[in-house]
């Protein structure tokens, strides 16, 4: 926690700023598993609704905005891990079990996809309680999940090319 706090003001496209964002995601999953699980379940529910059980389009019975957000996220065709699986992967990264910065690329992409998926079926505000220990400029801004996902996607591009300092 103490080291992570040192990273809090680092820009998103730096290694410390990226690690801070990964820390926040992991802590959010750890501290509020029920909320994260509900948001994750919404993604699963939307997936089932987008193509009815009989294979027909069932958009008539869903919120059009939520469904269009889901379709946009699904178009990226990235699998989204369960919250538990993502937390385990983030635990490994934050424990220093990665070989180098380039090896962060897959977890950065996965975490970005996870955040985009959670934003699909619900409000994209991440932390909405000022008293929450994770309330931060990263987690309280409008569309925090989507903005953090975009930052992690950019960090993954930089990590892949060796430019995440």
- At 52 the pLDDT is 45
pLDDT digits (tens, 9 = 90+) for 137-153: 778 776 888 999 999 99
Average pLDDT, stretch 73-99? Answer: 83
First to last CA, the chain: 21
Q: pLDDT: is 89 or 134 the higher one?
A: 89
Tell me the longest C-alpha to C-alpha distance in the chain. Answer: 52
pLDDT band at 129 (very low <50, low <70, confident <90, very high): confident
Average pLDDT, stretch 133-137? Answer: 81
- At 3 the pLDDT is 76
- At 78 the pLDDT is 56
pLDDT digits (tens, 9 = 90+) for 6-58: 888 899 999 999 999 999 999 999 998 998 888 888 776 555 545 444 444 44
| Pairwise CA distance, residues 131 & 164, whole Å | 32
| Pairwise CA distance, residues 85 & 134, whole Å | 21
Which residues, 6 or more positions from 77, have their beta carbon under 8 angstroms from its beta carbon? none
Which CB contacts under 8 angstroms, 24+ apart, belong to 139-145? 139/24, 139/28, 143/119, 145/115, 145/116, 145/118, 145/119
pTM equals: 0.77
| Pairwise CA distance, residues 97 & 48, whole Å | 36
| Pairwise CA distance, residues 141 & 120, whole Å | 17
| Pairwise CA distance, residues 29 & 86, whole Å | 9
User: Could you tell me how far CA 41 lies from the centroid of its own chain?
Assistant: 14
Average pLDDT, stretch 118-134? Answer: 77
pLDDT band at 61 (very low <50, low <70, confident <90, very high): very low
Which residues, 6 or more positions from 78, have their beta carbon under 8 angstroms from its beta carbon? 109, 110, 113
- At 71 the pLDDT is 64
Most confident option among 33-47, 57-71, 88-102, 128-142: 88-102
């Amino acid at each position: 926690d103490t080291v992570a706090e040192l990273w809090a003001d680092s820009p998103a496209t730096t290694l410390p700023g990226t690690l801070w964002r990964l820390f926040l995601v992991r802590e959010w999953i750890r501290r509020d598993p029920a909320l994260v699980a509900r948001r994750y379940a919404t993604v699963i529910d939307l997936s089932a609704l987008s193509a009815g059980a009989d294979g027909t389009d069932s958009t008539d019975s869903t919120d059009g905005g939520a469904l269009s957000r889901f379709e946009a996220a699904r178009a990226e065709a990235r699998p989204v891990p369960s919250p538990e699986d993502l937390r385990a992967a983030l635990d490994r990264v934050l424990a220093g079990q990665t070989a180098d910065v380039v090896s962060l690329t897959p977890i950065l992409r996965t975490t970005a996809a996870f955040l985009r998926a959670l934003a699909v079926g619900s409000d994209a505000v991440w932390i909405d309680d000022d008293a929450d220990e994770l309330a931060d400029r990263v987690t309280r801004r409008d569309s925090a999940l989507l903005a953090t996902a975009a930052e992690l996607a950019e960090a993954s591009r930089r990590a892949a090319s060796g430019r995440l300092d």
